[in-house]
Structure 1
């Protein structure tokens, strides 16, 4: 079970057809980020933004790629059971048998669609975005992750984000403020979500009061509340999101930074501080390094070194110029060529807890005693980074 900071619950590998809520609705600056794969024998699929949570709800955005010899993408709306006039785009941004990353950005004018980092189309609003309550996906497509990002979507979350959310979402309205969009064909890799979705059993009455959906109460593996999540959220995310004592995400995300990456950590590390890193391991990769440093001394308090060809993740520290004892024990290795990863690194009183793709990967106990002096993040090696959020 992925133990995530509030406002960061990606939906992993949902069953298709999928129908789930968008808690807090849509507003300007919100983005919906979808990773998936197009099967080789596709005919068509669709993604709908719906004004309710049932299949009969009005559809504010119908996005419908059709592979029928004259490939096209059809946009439309449906109100009171009646379809509007179709917008047909006679080019196909998806390829059969290939992975894709897609972002739907909500603007005042309409829905801006990006596929694999490229602008595709803007569909003008016909139904007010404030009426949208759900997301529906069906047809010939498999989905790896769905994320809802930004736009101040803290509403249904019991106060997750300080200040009611992430503000305007994308600085510079995406594109210009993001260093020219998505280099290397990587999508936005963005991951601040506010729902877990109705996956097989309902939300148990929304956020306060438990997550439902087969996620019952359960203690955090490891048990100590200094590092665990308040409310015993771990093995099964039970309890509730009390809100006030949950750690929040702060600051603007960094999209598609060049690697090597080096930057100060705003405010340094402190208990419950969580850093989200999303990216992809390119084909031919050998190894990468993620270092948490004390900038004044250049000591490496936490060194994480996935070695792709060896299939291991080495952890260590370098203090006073000397490397410490390597740690290599791990239940699995998610860092493989051509694979996307979604990593959450959480600072506790005794240790860092690292989760990748929804799975607890390892703990690294602090070797640098004053962990609040850790104030710099460096990433280098064979990796493409699409998203960093402190």
Structure 2
């Protein structure tokens, strides 16, 4: 199974490189740095035809009886708790009596997209890009050194976003200029969100401008510091106040733009496709996660 790790290094801006590894399920990995406020842990796959459960755990050690500040268990076929998403903690060899349950939003043989965000002393849980609930952090995250996922899903992908994300702006630098894949998980409450890709001379290689008031997603770029012709086809397939994924794939001749995993538009390059140095997000928007890497795919 592929594991998608996003690693932060500081150069005055947010910057990150992503690496891909292959593991078998169940998957368990050591966390190289402590979890921090604003991080999101992301698991993606396809639910199998006859699933039993999916467990999503934070461990304070490698041993079986290690404390678990977070245990999320998605139950499909387990008696009393069938059809439930269960949250609990495990400490000193005992499960907490305060087990919380909400409706399981996932179904067999369908997409599985689970994101857990650490924010304001809570775990904010998103299922297939929809917030389904939040749970209080009952135990401190200090000392968490392992993350484990046990799936009955196919084609799983785990993404540990190892950077703290600003609530309004995230800028990402890359010295390699070989970036091929940009993915943003955003929540907009304003009239406009701009996602900007800059060349090394600070010209716009691409601007994707989501304009709710105009009902359009406008694409444009600069040549010799002059804006070119806007491209507006495609309408606005997302609504203000919705959480959404925006993916930009930098191909040889064009940028391919996807919304929530569906192809939205292509934008032909108006400059060198290898000269992409800075990513910027502006607008009234909450940036939940950003992934920048050199792997092609949605």
TM range (shorter): 0.5 to 0.7
Structure 1, unaligned runs of 5 or more: 154-165, 178-189, 193-224, 230-248, 278-287, 301-312, 318-333, 342-349, 354-365, 378-385
2:119 to 107, 125, 132: 107
Counterpart of 1:171?
Answer: 167
Task: Mark the CA change 1:389 to 1:11 in structure 2 (over 3 Å): closer, same or farther.
Answer: closer
Query: Which whole-Å deviations, capped at 9, do the CAs of 1:153-211 have from their partners, x for residues lacking one?
Result: 4xxxxxxxxxxxx4xx2517xxxx9xxxxxxxxxxxx9x9xxxxxxxxxxxxxxxxxxx
What is the CA distance between 1:122 and its match in structure 2?
A: 2.1
1:22-41 alignment runs, 5 A limit:
22-41=31-50
Separation in structure 1 between the aligned mates of residue 19 and residue 135 of structure 2, nearest angstrom: 25
Residue 289 of structure 2 corresponds to residue 293 of structure 1:
no
Counterpart of 1:9?
Answer: 18
What is the CA distance between 1:60 and its match in structure 2?
A: 1.1
Counterpart of 1:43?
Answer: 52
| Kept after mapping to 1: 8 A contact 2:111/2:128 | no
1:42-81 alignment runs, 5 A limit:
42-68=51-77, 70-81=82-93
What is the CA distance between 1:47 and its match in structure 2?
A: 0.5
Counterpart of 1:182?
Answer: none
Q: How many residues align?
A: 227
Residue 186 of structure 2 corresponds to residue 255 of structure 1:
yes
Q: Secondary structure at the match of 1:37?
A: strand
Task: Mark the CA change 1:102 to 1:9 in structure 2 (over 3 Å): closer, same or farther.
Answer: same
Counterpart of 1:201?
Answer: none
Separation in structure 2 between the aligned mates of residue 3 and residue 79 of structure 1, nearest angstrom: 28
Structure 2, unaligned runs of 5 or more: 9-15, 208-216, 230-250, 264-270, 282-287, 293-298
What is the CA distance between 1:293 and its match in structure 2?
A: 2.8
RMSD: 5.0
Give the alignment's TM-score, normalised by structure 1. 0.45
Separation in structure 2 between the aligned mates of residue 264 and residue 92 of structure 1, nearest angstrom: 33
Larger radius of gyration: 1
What is the CA distance between 1:115 and its match in structure 2?
A: 1.1
| Kept after mapping to 1: 8 A contact 2:6/2:291 | no
Relative contact order: is structure 1 or structure 2 higher (C-alpha 8 Å, sep ≥ 6)? 2
What is the CA distance between 1:85 and its match in structure 2?
A: 1.9
Higher strand share: 2
1:121 to 133, 154, 157: 133
Separation in structure 1 between the aligned mates of residue 5 and residue 97 of structure 2, nearest angstrom: 44
1:246-285 alignment runs, 5 A limit:
255=186, 263=194, 265=196, 268-270=198-200
2:110 to 83, 86, 98: 98
| Kept after mapping to 2: 8 A contact 1:72/1:90 | yes
